[in-house]
Amino acid sequence: MERRITKIKVKKGEYTLSWEEYNERATEWDKHTLVCKDPPREEFKERLQVMANHVTEICEFEQGATKKIVINGVTISYNNDNNYLVIMALKELKNSQSPMVINTPARPAMPNGACTKEYCMSNELARDLSALEEEAWRYIEGDRAQASLFADKTPAKVSLQGKPPAENEQQLDAFEQYQRDKKKLLTHQAELLRREGYIA
pLDDT at 168 over 80: no
pLDDT attached to residue 115: 76
- Using CA atoms, how far apart are residues 143 and 153, in angstroms rounded to an integer? 22
Query: Which residue did the predictor score with more confidence, 116 or 55?
Result: 55
pLDDT attached to residue 192: 72
pTM greater than the 0.75 cutoff: no
Total count of residues recorded for the chain: 200
- Using CA atoms, how far apart are residues 109 and 150, in angstroms rounded to an integer? 45
